[in-house]
């Protein structure tokens, strides 16, 4: 076996062991070393050179990045998740044309990514990712779960979103589901701000899906400091003053259009 | 395994965010590799990469790499300034990376300003390898150089020090230049040096090249084609002249061309003098050749200056000066026939007489001086041209006859159009047979028609310097007595004299001035406004290119006067004064184009056209296009489009593309302008695109557009035959159809008549040429066409087109400036360039209801026999023409067939359609060589004569390789033996003129009179 490859494999074993021990610091250190070592292989993306050990190297590298993604979920580092996921992606999308066998973790990680996008409210990217998936992938429970969540989210069926936490296909999803609950709450808060001038504390609690008034009060204190609480009422400092829609300068527009037409006629 | 390609740069971009520097480096390295593919993705992360570049802790090499990536992305995004600033940051990496070719190609496509230089490169770099290397070399720093050049340009314009130029930029540019020079890529080095205003480097590049002469001429071309600032161009040319003069064997021809552009007659004069004083005869020949080349540019003031600066041999300076100072002697004028025209010869004969007593060297010099002065004054070339045009005249009278028959009697427009067509067809040939034969018909001309009929004589006799006056005498105002002639014909006669002597005024000026004074009352009785207009134009003509303050004076006057015609005349006059001044004229143009008065704006368009004539200056084109679509006055829009033709005549291929949209405009004036613009700039080129563009316009719905298109088409197709482009034949038939069609509009009919005139202009031996062989503009030709395009307002201005005609002749001259007989080769099928066949179409012959119809049919029969068809037809035609005239005699037959035989010298290979056509043709000096034919001309190896400088057409001085043998001269006998064909038929006054024949000039035709 290639000495370089052997070194990486060895290091990777150490990494896995650290993971099992939940020793996050060691994990991060070893991972960083692993990544640097991986840059030495020309068979990996983006070069995809056809070296004798290509398959082996690709598989190993993919494994490392998959672990990296899972690690980032574990430590709740969304940036790291994004970074690692993007580096992992070419192994799924581009390497499939080579003899690399598909990974068992693939759909789980893709689903995680979708969930992340949903949590970060990056709906456009969410759909972009979705479009890139094959129809078989869409049938996969991990993906399906994310898609359904997105649908409920868009419909405003927030209760379904929250109840979906019970049906997660995989334990790693919990982290994002918790985050999603918070995203949902923010959405609701945003909506009620627009919809109501004020709400009674109990109504607000129900609305924002809190189980106790204390939780509500703490939430308001942390997230929505501009809300006021007076005599059992939550008063939204919504854009009451928001001016009515600006009037369309119709006459000016008509004039302009006409003069364009005239100019056009002159030019041709 | 199928090659696996990465589909996104996302992974690399993500890697940039990693904390470990080695990962960042890896990402950057790979990004740089894939930037050409993924720049859209990368562009979103540019700030990130920028921050890497700015990161002080980062390795220097990495930072440069980051800069390179950013630079490339910006380049793709079209933001070249940012691209450049990062490229500078990339430093040495920029030069060493192979992939940059991709980057460069994009740079090229993104920046249209570079297209020109790129095209230029392709043109000059022959092999593809050279091409690629050059592309790489030039364009890696193209933007850098551009930036540098523009900074330098700004610095020179504001006279500031170039201190604020980025030293990094300077370093790149210098490295490029040195590299080019080292690699022997001198052309590239010169190009860059010129762009960057590094004259020091330019000089270095030139002197270090192996072929200094070639490099220099390349440099001259480049400076004319691409240096848009006149001032700077002068600087470059100065440098070139300096370099030239340092050479051991200077190329005097090129130096003199440069000096002419710089307007330095002293330099030219001293070179000429040096050559003339040389022992070697070849040097003298070279001097003559230089003189002829200078004359071709028609820069009269300059020529006169040169002539006056040629020092005279000592001991006779006083004599030489004396006759000149007495030049404007009024006593000699009016009645006496011995005019100032001969003065030159008088003066010189006197000087020769004196020289005989002095030093023999001086005598030889004086003799040579006489010759060169003759050349410089234009007399020699005019005389030779005249002889050529006369002896080679192949105009087809049948066409005119057809036109005459079909034109309605009462339609004066078509009537005068026919007269114009005749004049143009015979311009410079001195053949006025048609007029003589149709005196009755001619006499229908009244008023202005009469004016133009008389003036037409001037066109026909153009260049007939010696005889001009006596020829026109019957029509000129007679002394103070007032005579019987109508003011119109007198006015016409003066106009005619002007045309005859165009650009070679000298003697005639005084006469014109006198007669103007004496006939003031008469001449100006028709409309003072017309006079005003004429005065405006003529002021302009007198001050062509002078850019004097008079222009602003004229402008003020134009504001004061009420009369449209005067304003128009003045506007055009002002436009003429700024001829060729380029940037210097900008203020005046600005003033005119912003004026309230559309007529002045119209003049502004002309000013733009003439100031930037033939420069293809982008700014001028932009301005003209702007006016063409945005002005409220149709006149201005039409003129703006038309003016494009003048600006672009140096690059005729461009014009059809630029005006193609305009030619589809809804506004007929714009379409008309587009047609003429193409006509002007593509004149005589026969450019296929131009013809395609004009074709639909010739059947436009608006009559005057048809007229313009027909005229323009004729200008484009002049001298082409069907073998060159089959559409010529179609066009000829179309013209005939329009002329014969009773229901056609007068306007388009007139256009068709004029078009047939232009198509066969000057006896089918001239073309319209606005550029001389050395690519300088021909002042007279350009001005002539500019005034011609005014015929919209006043038809007689049509005659100005004759100023733009230049004979398509190869005329070889020996040391004595005589035309020796010798043969040379045209390496192409004769049918490609032969004269169009004379018309023998049945419809035309049957239209001529004459008893001679029998002859025509027999001609047809013979034509079918395919044996010397052309010759016969000619003879037949001539015979037919004669029988229609009042008197017939045998002597005439003889003379005309003699004439035919004479002209057949050219077609030494009689057409034999049975056998395969020969692939070459032997021409005899002097011969007709059409522009398209020039590249096929070769001298025979065993020829007795060798050219001083090989040029395929025009005047060529020949070195006699066997000086001891007697020379056979051509052109000398023909005119003296052939008396004017119609001599006997003319009424009265004959005989007197024949006595005045001077030298080998053809006999002046007898004056004739038509009664009104």
Q: Is the pLDDT of residue B892 over 70?
A: no
On whether any CB of chain A is under 8 Å from the CB of B28, the answer is: no
Which tops the pLDDT comparison, B649 or B394? Answer: B649
Each residue of B59-85: pLDDT tens digit?
778 888 888 888 778 877 766 667 666
The pLDDT tens digits for A114-161 are 888 988 888 898 998 888 888 888 888 888 888 888 888 888 888 888
Strand partners, B937: B826
Mean pLDDT of B484-493: 57
Contacts of A265 in chain B (CB under 8 A): 666
ipTM beyond cut 0.90: no
Note whether B765 and B808 are within 8 A (CB): yes
- Residue A129: CB atoms within 10 A of its CB come to 17
What average pLDDT does the structure give for chain B? 67
Task: Find the CB nearest B23 among A39, A50, A267.
Answer: A39
pLDDT beyond 50 at B4: yes
Choose between B928 and A58: higher pLDDT: A58
Listed residue (B149, B12, B141) closest to B75, CA to CA: B141
Query: What pLDDT is attached to residue B419?
Result: 81
B520: three-class secondary structure by DSSP: helix
Residue position matching structure tokens 């002159």: A266
Out of B2-16, B427-441, B469-483, B639-653, least confident range? B469-483
Contact between B381 and B957 under an 8 Å Cβ cutoff? The reply is no
Count of alpha carbons within 13 angstroms of residue B488, beta-carbon side: 12
The predicted-structure confidence for B541-585, as pLDDT tens digits, reads as follows 655 555 556 667 777 777 777 677 777 777 777 877 777 777 777
* CATH number of the structural domain B616-807: 1.25.10.10
SS3 call for A234: strand
CA B370/CA A243 separation, integer angstroms: 95
- Predicted confidence at residue A236, as pLDDT, reads 80
pLDDT in tens, B221-261: 777 666 666 677 777 777 777 777 777 666 777 777 777 77
- Alpha-carbon distances of B312 from B95, B270, B276, B357, rounded to whole Å: 61, 12, 12, 15
Higher pLDDT, B779 or B542: B779
pLDDT at residue B759 is higher than 50: yes
Using the 8-state DSSP alphabet, how is residue A268 labeled?
A: -
Residue B474 is predicted with a pLDDT of 64
Tell me the sheet residues that pair with A199: A234
Collapsing DSSP states into helix, strand and coil, what is residue A206?
helix
Residue B372 CA, distance from chain mean position? 24
Q: Which residue has the higher pLDDT, A236 or B934?
A: A236
Q: Is residue A196 predicted with pLDDT exceeding 60? A: yes
DSSP B982: T
DSSP state of B1011: -
Q: Name the least confident of A42-56, B315-329, B569-583, B819-833.
A: B315-329
Average pLDDT estimate for B353-380: 67
Closest CA in chain B for residue A83: B14
Q: How far is CA B912 from CA A136, B172, B834, B871, in A?
A: 81, 65, 13, 12
Of B23, B30, B33, the CB nearest to A35: B23
- Give the domain ranges of chain B: 26-108+130-267, 528-612, 616-807
Q: Do B14 and A87 touch (CB under 8 A)?
A: yes
Does the beta carbon of B30 lie under 8 angstroms from any beta carbon of chain A? yes
Take residue B81 and report the two structure tokens written for it. 């300034």
Cβ contact B810:B826 at 8 Å: no
pLDDT of residue A256: 92
Residues with Cβ within 8 Å of residue B572, at least 6 apart in sequence: B536, B537, B540, B603, B606, B786, B787, B790
Nearest CA distance, A63 vs chain B (angstrom): 16
Give yes or no for residue B502 having a pLDDT over 50.
yes
Least confident window among A90-104, B479-493, B852-866:
B852-866
What average pLDDT does the segment B921-938 reach? 75
Contacts of B14 in chain A (CB under 8 A): 82-87
Residue B649, Cα to own-chain centre: how many angstroms? 8
Amino acid A258: pLDDT: 92
Tokens standing for residue B120:
């230029």
pLDDT for position B534:
60
Q: B12 in contact with A at a CB cutoff of 8 Å?
A: yes
Chain B contact set for A98 (CB, 8 A): 1-2, 4
Find which of B1, B2, B3, B4 to mutate to test the A interface (most A CBs within 10 Å of its CB): B4
Q: What is the pTM of this model?
A: 0.57
Instruction: Report pLDDT digits (tens) over B671-702.
Output: 899 898 888 888 878 788 888 888 888 888 88
Using the predicted structure, report yes or no on whether residue B484 has a pLDDT greater than 70: no
Residue B875 CA to residue B908 CA, distance in Å, equals 17
Cβ neighbours for A268, distance < 8 A, ≥ 6 positions apart: B665, B666
Q: CA B583 to CA B437: how far, in whole Å?
A: 52
Q: Does B15 touch chain A (CB under 8 A)?
A: yes
B15: pLDDT strictly greater than 80: yes
> Rounded mean pLDDT of B132-145?
49
Strands B809-813 and B805-807: unpaired
Looking at per-residue pLDDT, the higher value among B844 and B494 belongs to B494
Q: What is the pLDDT of residue B879?
A: 46
């Amino acid at each position: 076996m290639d000495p370089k490859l052997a070194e990486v494999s060895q290091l990777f074993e150490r990494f896995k062991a650290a993971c099992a021990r939940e020793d996050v610091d060691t994990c991060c250190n070893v991972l960083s070393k692993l990544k640097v070592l991986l840059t030495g292989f020309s068979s990996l993306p983006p070069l995809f050179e056809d070296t004798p050990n290509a398959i082996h190297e690709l598989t190993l590298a993919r494994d490392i990045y998959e672990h990296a993604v899972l690690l980032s979920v574990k430590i709740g580092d969304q940036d790291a998740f994004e970074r690692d996921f993007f580096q992992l992606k070419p192994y799924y999308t581009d390497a499939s044309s080579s003899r690399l066998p598909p990974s068992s973790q693939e759909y789980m990680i893709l689903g995680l990514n979708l969930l992340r996008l949903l949590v970060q409210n990056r709906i456009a990217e969410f759909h972009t990712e979705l479009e890139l998936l094959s129809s078989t992938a869409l049938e996969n429970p991990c993906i399906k779960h994310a898609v359904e969540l997105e649908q409920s989210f868009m419909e405003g069926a927030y209760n379904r979103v929250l109840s979906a936490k019970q049906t997660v296909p995989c334990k790693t999803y919990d982290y994002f589901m918790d985050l999603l609950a918070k995203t949902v709450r923010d959405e609701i808060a945003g909506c009620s701000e627009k919809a109501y001038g004020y709400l009674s504390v109990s109504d607000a609690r129900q609305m924002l899906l809190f189980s106790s008034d204390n939780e509500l009060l703490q939430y308001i204190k942390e997230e929505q400091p501009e809300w006021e609480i007076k005599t059992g009422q939550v008063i939204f400092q919504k854009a009451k003053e928001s001016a009515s829609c600006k009037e369309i300068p119709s006459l000016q527009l008509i004039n302009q259009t006409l003069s364009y037409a005239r100019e056009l006629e002159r030019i041709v | 395994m199928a090659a696996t390609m990465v589909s996104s740069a996302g992974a690399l971009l993500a890697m940039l965010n990693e904390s470990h520097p080695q990962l960042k480096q890896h990402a950057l390295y790979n990004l740089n590799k894939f930037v050409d593919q993924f720049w859209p993705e990368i562009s979103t992360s540019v700030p990130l990469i920028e921050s890497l570049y700015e990161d002080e802790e980062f390795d220097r090499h990495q930072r440069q790499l980051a800069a390179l990536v950013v630079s490339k992305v910006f380049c793709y995004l079209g933001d070249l300034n940012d691209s450049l600033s990062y490229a500078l940051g990339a430093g040495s990496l920029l030069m060493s990376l192979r992939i940059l070719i991709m980057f460069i190609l994009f740079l090229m496509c993104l920046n249209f300003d570079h297209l020109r230089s790129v095209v230029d490169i392709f043109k000059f770099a022959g092999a593809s390898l050279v091409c690629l290397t050059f592309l790489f070399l030039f364009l890696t720093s193209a933007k850098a150089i551009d930036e540098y050049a523009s900074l330098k340009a700004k610095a020179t314009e504001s006279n500031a020090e170039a201190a604020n130029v980025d030293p990094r930029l300077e370093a790149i540019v210098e490295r490029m230049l040195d590299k080019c020079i080292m690699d022997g890529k001198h052309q590239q080095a010169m190009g860059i040096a010129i762009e960057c205003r590094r004259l020091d480097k330019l000089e270095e590049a030139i002197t270090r090249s192996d072929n200094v002469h070639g490099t220099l001429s390349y440099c001259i071309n480049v400076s004319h084609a691409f240096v848009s600032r006149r001032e700077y161009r002068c600087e470059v040319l100065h440098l070139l002249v300096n370099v030239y003069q340092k050479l051991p064997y200077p190329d005097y021809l090129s130096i003199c061309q440069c000096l002419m552009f710089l307007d330095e007659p002293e330099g030219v004069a001293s070179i000429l003098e040096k050559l003339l004083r040389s022992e070697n005869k070849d040097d003298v020949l070279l001097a003559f050749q230089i003189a002829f080349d200078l004359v071709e540019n028609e820069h009269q003031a300059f020529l006169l200056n040169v002539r006056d600066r040629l020092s005279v041999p000592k001991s006779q300076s006083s004599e030489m000066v004396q006759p000149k100072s007495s030049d404007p002697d009024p006593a000699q004028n009016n009645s006496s026939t011995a005019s100032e025209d001969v003065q030159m010869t008088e003066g010189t004969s006197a000087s020769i007489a004196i020289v005989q007593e002095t030093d023999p060297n001086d005598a030889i010099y004086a003799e040579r001086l006489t010759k060169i002065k003759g050349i410089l004054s234009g007399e020699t070339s005019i005389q030779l041209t005249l002889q050529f045009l006369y002896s080679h005249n192949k105009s087809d009278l049948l066409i005119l006859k057809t036109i005459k028959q079909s034109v309605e009697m009462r339609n004066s427009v078509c009537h005068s159009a026919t007269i114009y067509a005749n004049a143009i067809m015979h311009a410079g040939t001195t053949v006025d047979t048609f007029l003589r034969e149709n005196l009755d018909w001619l006499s229908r001309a009244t008023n202005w028609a009469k004016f133009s009929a008389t003036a037409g004589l001037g066109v026909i006799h153009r260049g007939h310097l010696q005889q001009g006056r006596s020829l026109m005498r019957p029509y000129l105002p007679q002394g103070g007595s007032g005579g019987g002639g109508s003011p119109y014909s007198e006015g016409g006669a003066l106009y005619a004299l002007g045309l005859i002597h165009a650009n070679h005024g000298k003697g005639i000026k005084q006469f014109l001035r006198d007669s103007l004074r004496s006939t003031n009352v008469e001449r100006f009785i028709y409309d003072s406004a017309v006079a005003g207009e004429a005065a405006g134009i003529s002021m302009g003509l007198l001050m062509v290119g002078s850019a004097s303050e008079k222009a602003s004076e004229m402008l003020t006057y134009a504001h004061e006067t009420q009369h449209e015609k005067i304003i128009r005349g003045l506007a055009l006059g002002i436009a003429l004064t700024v001829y060729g001044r380029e940037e210097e004229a900008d203020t005046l143009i600005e003033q005119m184009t912003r004026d309230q008065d559309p007529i002045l704006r119209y003049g502004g368009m002309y000013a733009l056209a003439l100031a930037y004539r033939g420069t293809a200056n982008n700014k001028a084109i932009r301005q003209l296009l702007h006016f063409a679509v945005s002005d409220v006055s149709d006149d201005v829009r039409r003129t703006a489009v038309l003016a494009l033709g003048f600006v672009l005549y140096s690059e005729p291929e461009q014009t059809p593309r630029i005006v193609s949209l305009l030619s589809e405009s809804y506004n007929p004036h714009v379409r008309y302008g587009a047609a003429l613009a193409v006509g002007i700039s593509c004149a005589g080129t026969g450019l296929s695109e131009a013809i395609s563009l004009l074709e639909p316009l010739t059947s436009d719905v608006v009559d005057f557009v048809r007229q313009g298109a027909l005229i323009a088409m004729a200008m484009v197709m002049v001298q082409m035959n069907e073998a060159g482009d089959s559409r010529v034949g179609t066009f000829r038939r179309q013209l005939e159809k329009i002329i014969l069609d009773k229901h056609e509009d007068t306007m388009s009919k007139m256009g068709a008549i004029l078009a047939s005139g232009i198509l066969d202009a000057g006896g089918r031996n001239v073309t319209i040429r606005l550029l001389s062989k050395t690519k300088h503009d021909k002042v007279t030709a350009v001005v002539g066409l500019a005034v011609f395009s005014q015929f919209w307002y006043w038809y007689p201005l049509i005659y100005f087109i004759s100023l733009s005609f230049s004979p398509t002749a190869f005329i070889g001259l020996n040391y004595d400036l005589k035309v020796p007989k010798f043969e040379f080769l045209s390496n192409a099928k004769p049918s490609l360039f032969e004269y169009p066949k004379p018309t023998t179409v049945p419809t035309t012959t049957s239209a001529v209801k004459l008893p001679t119809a029998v002859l025509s049919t027999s001609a047809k029969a013979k034509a079918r026999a395919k044996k010397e068809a052309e010759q016969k037809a000619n003879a037949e035609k001539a015979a037919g023409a004669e029988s229609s005239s009042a008197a017939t005699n045998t002597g005439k037959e003889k003379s005309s067939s003699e004439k035919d035989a004479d002209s057949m010298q050219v077609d030494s290979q009689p057409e034999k359609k049975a056998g395969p056509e020969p692939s070459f043709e032997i021409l005899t000096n002097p011969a007709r060589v059409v522009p398209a034919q020039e590249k096929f001309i070769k001298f025979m190896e065993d020829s007795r004569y060798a050219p001083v400088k090989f040029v395929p057409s025009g005047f060529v001085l020949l070195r006699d390789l066997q000086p001891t043998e007697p020379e056979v001269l051509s052109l000398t006998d023909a005119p003296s033996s052939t008396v004017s064909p119609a001599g006997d038929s003319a009424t009265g006054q004959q005989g007197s003129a024949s006595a005045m024949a001077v030298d080998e000039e053809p006999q002046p035709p007898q004056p004739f009179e038509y009664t009104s």
